[in-house]
């Protein structure tokens, strides 16, 4: 199994701005990523880490690294990023409520 983890450190009270990008809306079917072959699950976690800051963590599980790479290279994934760039007239600026963003990819060994 292959896991992708993204972690945002954000100013307190702004976790919903990150969550709204990834949470399912009522009545909405599976997202494009959830329909991809090899996708297993996605979890969103929120933590108030210290006064003035929060963390949002997204964990996405894939059957394999190859399944994840296929999603990253898919026309649907690429089109989504191109649409964001188009909406902002270039690379969108980092919102001021995001203090830091980290990501990592891991292979589960046991």
Domains of the chain: 2-107 (3.30.70.100)
Write down the pLDDT at residue 85: 64
Checking if the pLDDT of 36 tops 70, the result is yes
Alpha carbon distance 44, 8 (integer Å): 11
Alpha carbon distance 81, 99 (integer Å): 21
Q: If pLDDT is split at 50, 70 and 90, which confidence band does 16 have? A: very high
Strand, coil or helix: 22: helix
Q: What is the mean pLDDT of the chain?
A: 88
How does pLDDT run across 51-100, given as a tens digit for each residue? Answer: 889 999 999 999 999 999 999 999 888 887 676 666 667 677 788 999 99
Task: Read off the pTM.
Answer: 0.82
Q: Are strands 53-62 and 39-50 parallel, antiparallel or unpaired?
A: antiparallel
Give CA separation, 74 vs 32, 33, 70, 83, in Å: 10, 10, 6, 14
């Amino acid at each position: 199994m292959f896991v992708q983890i993204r972690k945002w450190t954000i100013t307190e009270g702004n976790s919903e701005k990150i969550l709204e990008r990834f949470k399912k809306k009522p009545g909405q079917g599976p997202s494009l990523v959830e329909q991809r072959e090899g996708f297993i699950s996605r979890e969103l976690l929120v933590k108030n880490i210290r006064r003035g800051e929060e963390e949002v963590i997204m964990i996405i599980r894939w059957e394999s690294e190859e399944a994840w790479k296929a999603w990253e290279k898919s026309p649907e994934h690429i089109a989504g990023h191109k649409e964001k760039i188009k909406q902002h007239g270039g690379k969108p600026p980092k919102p001021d409520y995001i203090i830091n963003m980290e990501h990592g990819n891991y292979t589960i060994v046991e």
